[in-house]
Structure 1
Protein backbone atom coordinates (compact mmCIF):
# COMPACT_ATOMS: atom_id res chain seq x y z
CA UNK A 1 0.00 0.00 0.00
CA UNK A 2 1.33 3.41 -1.02
CA UNK A 3 1.66 5.69 2.02
CA UNK A 4 1.93 9.46 2.28
CA UNK A 5 3.31 12.19 4.52
CA UNK A 6 1.58 15.41 5.47
CA UNK A 7 3.30 18.81 5.68
CA UNK A 8 1.83 21.96 7.24
CA UNK A 9 2.76 25.16 9.06
CA UNK A 10 0.44 25.70 12.01
CA UNK A 11 0.33 28.70 14.36
CA UNK A 12 -0.35 28.60 18.09
CA UNK A 13 -4.13 28.93 17.64
CA UNK A 14 -4.10 26.08 15.04
CA UNK A 15 -4.48 28.48 12.11
CA UNK A 16 -3.14 27.64 8.67
CA UNK A 17 -4.75 30.24 6.40
CA UNK A 18 -6.39 33.62 6.06
CA UNK A 19 -8.35 34.89 3.05
CA UNK A 20 -6.92 32.21 0.75
CA UNK A 21 -3.30 32.87 1.74
CA UNK A 22 -0.85 32.20 4.54
CA UNK A 23 -1.30 34.47 7.57
CA UNK A 24 2.49 34.96 7.82
CA UNK A 25 5.39 35.63 5.49
CA UNK A 26 8.26 33.34 6.46
CA UNK A 27 10.57 32.83 3.49
CA UNK A 28 12.76 30.23 5.23
CA UNK A 29 9.73 28.19 6.27
CA UNK A 30 8.40 28.26 2.69
CA UNK A 31 11.83 27.18 1.43
CA UNK A 32 11.72 24.27 3.90
CA UNK A 33 8.32 23.25 2.48
CA UNK A 34 9.64 23.45 -1.08
CA UNK A 35 12.88 21.57 -0.40
CA UNK A 36 11.15 18.90 1.69
CA UNK A 37 8.43 18.19 -0.88
CA UNK A 38 10.98 18.13 -3.73
CA UNK A 39 13.68 16.06 -1.96
CA UNK A 40 14.28 12.66 -3.54
CA UNK A 41 16.93 10.07 -2.89
CA UNK A 42 16.41 8.62 -6.38
CA UNK A 43 16.42 11.34 -9.04
CA UNK A 44 14.73 9.01 -11.55
CA UNK A 45 11.56 9.16 -9.42
CA UNK A 46 9.15 12.00 -8.70
CA UNK A 47 7.33 13.24 -5.62
CA UNK A 48 3.62 13.96 -5.57
CA UNK A 49 1.83 16.85 -3.85
CA UNK A 50 -1.88 16.34 -3.14
CA UNK A 51 -4.08 19.30 -2.26
CA UNK A 52 -7.65 20.45 -2.23
CA UNK A 53 -9.12 22.86 -4.76
CA UNK A 54 -8.87 25.93 -2.52
CA UNK A 55 -5.23 25.19 -1.66
CA UNK A 56 -4.37 24.83 -5.34
CA UNK A 57 -5.99 28.14 -6.25
CA UNK A 58 -4.33 29.87 -3.26
CA UNK A 59 -0.93 29.25 -4.89
CA UNK A 60 0.11 32.31 -6.91
CA UNK A 61 -0.67 31.76 -10.62
CA UNK A 62 3.01 32.07 -11.61
CA UNK A 63 3.94 29.29 -9.14
CA UNK A 64 1.33 26.70 -10.06
CA UNK A 65 1.43 23.90 -10.64
CA UNK A 66 4.23 23.38 -8.12
CA UNK A 67 7.34 22.62 -10.14
CA UNK A 68 9.34 19.39 -10.06
CA UNK A 69 6.43 17.53 -8.42
CA UNK A 70 3.37 15.74 -9.73
CA UNK A 71 0.43 17.94 -8.71
CA UNK A 72 -2.86 16.30 -7.69
CA UNK A 73 -5.98 18.33 -6.91
CA UNK A 74 -8.92 16.85 -5.01
CA UNK A 75 -12.31 18.28 -5.95
CA UNK A 76 -15.82 17.06 -6.63
CA UNK A 77 -16.76 20.31 -8.40
CA UNK A 78 -13.86 21.03 -10.79
CA UNK A 79 -13.66 19.61 -14.27
CA UNK A 80 -10.37 18.52 -15.87
CA UNK A 81 -10.60 21.52 -18.24
CA UNK A 82 -10.45 23.83 -15.17
CA UNK A 83 -6.83 22.83 -14.56
CA UNK A 84 -3.65 22.62 -16.65
CA UNK A 85 -3.29 19.27 -18.43
CA UNK A 86 -0.34 18.21 -16.27
CA UNK A 87 -2.39 18.53 -13.04
CA UNK A 88 -4.23 15.35 -12.04
CA UNK A 89 -7.79 15.73 -10.73
CA UNK A 90 -9.60 13.24 -8.48
CA UNK A 91 -12.81 13.48 -6.44
CA UNK A 92 -11.20 12.27 -3.18
CA UNK A 93 -7.98 11.17 -1.52
CA UNK A 94 -8.54 7.42 -1.66
CA UNK A 95 -9.30 7.42 -5.40
CA UNK A 96 -6.19 9.55 -5.99
CA UNK A 97 -4.05 7.14 -3.97
CA UNK A 98 -5.40 4.09 -5.81
CA UNK A 99 -4.57 5.78 -9.13
CA UNK A 100 -1.06 6.60 -7.87
CA UNK A 101 -0.58 3.00 -6.72
CA UNK A 102 -1.34 1.82 -10.24
CA UNK A 103 1.01 4.48 -11.62
CA UNK A 104 3.64 3.43 -9.06
CA UNK A 105 3.72 -0.09 -10.54
CA UNK A 106 6.44 1.39 -12.73
CA UNK A 107 8.13 2.59 -9.49
CA UNK A 108 8.18 6.22 -10.58
CA UNK A 109 6.92 7.79 -7.34
CA UNK A 110 9.19 8.29 -4.34
CA UNK A 111 7.11 10.27 -1.79
CA UNK A 112 3.52 11.46 -1.70
CA UNK A 113 2.89 14.69 0.26
CA UNK A 114 -0.44 16.02 1.50
CA UNK A 115 -0.15 19.83 1.42
CA UNK A 116 -3.61 21.11 2.39
CA UNK A 117 -6.19 22.29 3.13
CA UNK A 118 -7.96 21.62 6.36
CA UNK A 119 -10.42 19.00 5.10
CA UNK A 120 -7.72 17.12 3.18
CA UNK A 121 -5.48 17.16 6.27
CA UNK A 122 -8.29 15.73 8.41
CA UNK A 123 -9.04 12.97 5.91
CA UNK A 124 -5.33 12.21 5.52
CA UNK A 125 -4.61 11.87 9.25
CA UNK A 126 -7.52 9.42 9.61
CA UNK A 127 -6.17 7.23 6.80
CA UNK A 128 -4.09 4.13 7.44
CA UNK A 129 -1.90 5.35 4.59
CA UNK A 130 -0.66 8.33 6.64
CA UNK A 131 2.93 7.74 7.77
CA UNK A 132 4.35 11.04 9.04
CA UNK A 133 3.34 14.60 9.82
CA UNK A 134 5.90 17.31 9.11
CA UNK A 135 4.59 20.19 11.19
CA UNK A 136 6.10 23.64 11.49
CA UNK A 137 4.93 24.91 14.88
CA UNK A 138 4.69 28.68 14.67
CA UNK A 139 5.09 29.97 18.21
CA UNK A 140 2.54 32.80 18.09
CA UNK A 141 -1.10 33.34 17.25
CA UNK A 142 -2.26 34.82 13.94
CA UNK A 143 -5.69 35.86 12.75
CA UNK A 144 -6.89 32.93 10.64
CA UNK A 145 -10.04 31.66 8.96
CA UNK A 146 -8.75 28.15 8.18
CA UNK A 147 -7.54 25.82 10.92
CA UNK A 148 -5.52 22.62 11.18
CA UNK A 149 -7.60 19.73 12.56
CA UNK A 150 -6.68 18.10 15.87
CA UNK A 151 -3.81 15.62 15.56
CA UNK A 152 -4.89 12.09 16.57
CA UNK A 153 -3.13 10.56 19.59
CA UNK A 154 -1.68 7.77 17.43
CA UNK A 155 0.97 10.22 16.15
CA UNK A 156 4.11 10.56 18.29
CA UNK A 157 7.03 12.95 17.85
CA UNK A 158 10.21 11.40 16.47
CA UNK A 159 13.73 12.75 15.97
CA UNK A 160 14.05 15.11 13.00
CA UNK A 161 15.42 13.98 9.67
CA UNK A 162 19.07 14.99 9.07
CA UNK A 163 17.78 17.56 6.54
CA UNK A 164 15.34 19.14 9.00
CA UNK A 165 16.69 22.15 10.92
CA UNK A 166 16.54 21.54 14.66
CA UNK A 167 15.70 23.94 17.43
CA UNK A 168 13.76 27.17 17.33
CA UNK A 169 14.11 29.23 14.15
CA UNK A 170 13.28 32.92 13.91
CA UNK A 171 12.36 35.20 11.03
CA UNK A 172 10.90 38.73 11.21
CA UNK A 173 10.47 38.28 14.97
CA UNK A 174 8.37 35.12 14.49
CA UNK A 175 9.69 31.97 16.13
CA UNK A 176 8.92 28.52 14.77
CA UNK A 177 10.13 24.96 15.11
CA UNK A 178 10.05 21.96 12.76
CA UNK A 179 8.55 18.78 14.21
CA UNK A 180 8.05 15.31 12.77
CA UNK A 181 5.38 12.97 14.12
CA UNK A 182 4.92 9.36 13.07
CA UNK A 183 1.94 7.04 13.32
Structure 2
Protein backbone atom coordinates (compact mmCIF):
# COMPACT_ATOMS: atom_id res chain seq x y z
CA UNK A 1 0.00 0.00 0.00
CA UNK A 2 2.75 2.47 0.93
CA UNK A 3 5.39 2.18 -1.76
CA UNK A 4 9.03 2.83 -0.81
CA UNK A 5 12.39 2.68 -2.57
CA UNK A 6 15.18 2.82 0.00
CA UNK A 7 17.94 2.04 -2.54
CA UNK A 8 16.97 5.04 -4.64
CA UNK A 9 16.74 7.32 -1.60
CA UNK A 10 20.16 6.19 -0.37
CA UNK A 11 21.68 7.05 -3.74
CA UNK A 12 19.88 10.42 -3.90
CA UNK A 13 21.39 11.29 -0.51
CA UNK A 14 24.86 10.51 -1.88
CA UNK A 15 24.17 12.60 -4.99
CA UNK A 16 22.97 15.46 -2.81
CA UNK A 17 26.40 15.51 -1.16
CA UNK A 18 28.19 15.27 -4.52
CA UNK A 19 25.99 17.88 -6.27
CA UNK A 20 24.70 20.14 -3.48
CA UNK A 21 23.16 22.62 -5.94
CA UNK A 22 21.18 19.96 -7.84
CA UNK A 23 18.62 19.32 -5.12
CA UNK A 24 16.42 21.56 -3.02
CA UNK A 25 14.79 20.25 0.14
CA UNK A 26 11.14 21.22 0.54
CA UNK A 27 8.66 20.51 3.33
CA UNK A 28 4.92 19.98 3.02
CA UNK A 29 2.20 19.69 5.65
CA UNK A 30 -0.63 17.14 5.65
CA UNK A 31 -3.30 17.88 3.01
CA UNK A 32 -0.94 20.17 1.09
CA UNK A 33 -0.97 19.50 -2.65
CA UNK A 34 2.55 19.16 -4.04
CA UNK A 35 1.61 18.57 -7.70
CA UNK A 36 -1.71 19.27 -9.38
CA UNK A 37 -3.10 17.12 -12.14
CA UNK A 38 -2.97 18.69 -15.61
CA UNK A 39 -0.36 21.32 -14.70
CA UNK A 40 3.11 21.79 -16.15
CA UNK A 41 6.12 21.54 -13.86
CA UNK A 42 9.86 21.88 -14.41
CA UNK A 43 10.98 19.77 -11.46
CA UNK A 44 10.38 16.36 -10.01
CA UNK A 45 10.49 15.06 -6.46
CA UNK A 46 11.95 12.23 -4.42
CA UNK A 47 10.41 11.63 -0.98
CA UNK A 48 12.93 11.83 1.86
CA UNK A 49 10.32 11.37 4.64
CA UNK A 50 6.57 11.10 4.91
CA UNK A 51 3.64 9.67 2.97
CA UNK A 52 1.81 11.11 -0.04
CA UNK A 53 -1.10 9.96 -2.11
CA UNK A 54 -1.02 9.90 -5.90
CA UNK A 55 -4.49 10.31 -7.36
CA UNK A 56 -6.52 11.15 -10.42
CA UNK A 57 -9.61 13.34 -10.22
CA UNK A 58 -12.42 13.05 -12.73
CA UNK A 59 -14.54 15.93 -14.02
CA UNK A 60 -16.90 15.53 -11.02
CA UNK A 61 -14.05 15.77 -8.50
CA UNK A 62 -14.13 12.04 -7.65
CA UNK A 63 -10.67 10.81 -6.73
CA UNK A 64 -9.09 7.50 -7.59
CA UNK A 65 -5.94 6.87 -5.58
CA UNK A 66 -3.35 5.10 -7.69
CA UNK A 67 -0.89 4.55 -4.87
CA UNK A 68 0.55 5.85 -1.63
CA UNK A 69 4.18 6.93 -1.90
CA UNK A 70 6.75 6.85 0.91
CA UNK A 71 10.52 7.14 1.33
CA UNK A 72 12.53 7.03 -1.86
CA UNK A 73 9.61 7.18 -4.26
CA UNK A 74 9.83 9.74 -7.01
CA UNK A 75 7.02 11.56 -8.73
CA UNK A 76 6.90 13.86 -11.72
CA UNK A 77 9.34 11.67 -13.64
CA UNK A 78 6.86 10.52 -16.29
CA UNK A 79 6.38 14.12 -17.35
CA UNK A 80 10.16 14.48 -17.86
CA UNK A 81 10.06 11.69 -20.44
CA UNK A 82 6.71 12.48 -22.05
CA UNK A 83 6.75 16.29 -21.99
CA UNK A 84 3.08 16.16 -20.99
CA UNK A 85 1.19 17.92 -18.23
CA UNK A 86 1.16 16.11 -14.89
CA UNK A 87 -0.93 12.95 -14.98
CA UNK A 88 -1.86 12.90 -11.29
CA UNK A 89 -2.05 15.08 -8.23
CA UNK A 90 0.23 14.38 -5.30
CA UNK A 91 -0.93 15.35 -1.81
CA UNK A 92 0.85 15.03 1.52
CA UNK A 93 -0.85 12.69 4.00
CA UNK A 94 1.72 13.24 6.75
CA UNK A 95 4.49 15.80 7.07
CA UNK A 96 6.55 15.29 3.94
CA UNK A 97 10.14 16.22 3.12
CA UNK A 98 11.22 15.93 -0.52
CA UNK A 99 14.30 16.37 -2.64
CA UNK A 100 13.28 18.58 -5.55
CA UNK A 101 15.39 18.44 -8.72
CA UNK A 102 14.99 20.39 -11.95
CA UNK A 103 14.37 18.56 -15.21
CA UNK A 104 17.70 19.92 -16.44
CA UNK A 105 19.67 18.40 -13.55
CA UNK A 106 17.64 15.18 -13.66
CA UNK A 107 18.41 14.76 -17.36
CA UNK A 108 22.08 15.51 -16.68
CA UNK A 109 22.16 12.67 -14.15
CA UNK A 110 20.33 10.34 -16.53
CA UNK A 111 22.91 11.07 -19.25
CA UNK A 112 26.02 10.98 -17.06
CA UNK A 113 25.40 8.64 -14.13
CA UNK A 114 24.79 5.01 -15.08
CA UNK A 115 23.73 3.95 -11.58
CA UNK A 116 21.24 6.81 -11.31
CA UNK A 117 19.87 5.87 -14.73
CA UNK A 118 19.53 2.23 -13.68
CA UNK A 119 17.79 3.13 -10.43
CA UNK A 120 15.31 5.35 -12.29
CA UNK A 121 14.52 2.57 -14.77
CA UNK A 122 14.14 0.07 -11.92
CA UNK A 123 11.89 2.49 -10.03
CA UNK A 124 9.63 2.96 -13.05
CA UNK A 125 9.51 -0.79 -13.70
CA UNK A 126 8.51 -1.44 -10.08
CA UNK A 127 5.73 1.16 -10.34
CA UNK A 128 4.35 -0.50 -13.45
CA UNK A 129 4.78 -3.98 -12.00
CA UNK A 130 2.90 -2.99 -8.83
CA UNK A 131 -0.18 -1.52 -10.48
CA UNK A 132 -1.40 -4.42 -12.61
CA UNK A 133 -1.55 -7.03 -9.81
CA UNK A 134 -3.12 -4.52 -7.42
CA UNK A 135 -5.85 -3.55 -9.86
CA UNK A 136 -6.39 -7.18 -10.80
CA UNK A 137 -6.80 -8.20 -7.15
CA UNK A 138 -9.22 -5.35 -6.49
CA UNK A 139 -11.33 -6.32 -9.52
CA UNK A 140 -11.23 -10.06 -8.87
CA UNK A 141 -11.96 -10.18 -5.15
CA UNK A 142 -14.67 -8.86 -2.88
CA UNK A 143 -14.41 -5.66 -0.87
CA UNK A 144 -14.10 -7.81 2.27
CA UNK A 145 -11.11 -9.66 0.86
CA UNK A 146 -9.48 -6.40 -0.23
CA UNK A 147 -9.89 -4.93 3.25
CA UNK A 148 -8.60 -8.10 4.92
CA UNK A 149 -5.55 -7.99 2.64
CA UNK A 150 -4.97 -4.32 3.60
CA UNK A 151 -5.31 -5.18 7.29
CA UNK A 152 -2.89 -8.11 6.93
CA UNK A 153 -0.25 -6.09 5.05
CA UNK A 154 -0.75 -2.81 6.98
CA UNK A 155 -2.28 -3.51 10.40
CA UNK A 156 -2.46 0.23 11.23
CA UNK A 157 -3.83 1.36 7.87
CA UNK A 158 -6.95 2.80 9.51
CA UNK A 159 -4.80 5.00 11.79
CA UNK A 160 -2.73 6.39 8.90
CA UNK A 161 -5.37 6.88 6.20
CA UNK A 162 -8.79 8.45 6.28
CA UNK A 163 -11.81 6.34 5.38
CA UNK A 164 -12.24 8.52 2.32
CA UNK A 165 -8.69 7.71 1.16
CA UNK A 166 -9.17 4.00 1.81
CA UNK A 167 -12.40 4.01 -0.20
CA UNK A 168 -10.75 5.94 -3.05
CA UNK A 169 -7.81 3.53 -3.01
CA UNK A 170 -10.15 0.54 -3.26
CA UNK A 171 -12.35 2.26 -5.85
CA UNK A 172 -15.50 2.03 -3.72
CA UNK A 173 -17.86 4.43 -1.94
CA UNK A 174 -17.51 5.33 1.73
CA UNK A 175 -20.91 3.79 2.28
CA UNK A 176 -19.70 0.44 0.88
CA UNK A 177 -16.54 0.69 2.97
CA UNK A 178 -18.49 1.38 6.18
CA UNK A 179 -20.95 -1.42 5.47
CA UNK A 180 -18.08 -3.84 4.85
CA UNK A 181 -16.15 -2.73 7.95
CA UNK A 182 -19.26 -3.19 10.09
CA UNK A 183 -19.81 -6.64 8.60
CA UNK A 184 -16.23 -7.65 9.41
CA UNK A 185 -16.54 -6.71 13.12
TM-score (norm 2): 0.25
Report the structure number with the largest CA radius of gyration. Answer: 2
Q: Which has the higher helix share?
A: 2
Q: Which has the higher strand share?
A: 1
Higher relative contact order (CA 8 A, sep 6+): 1
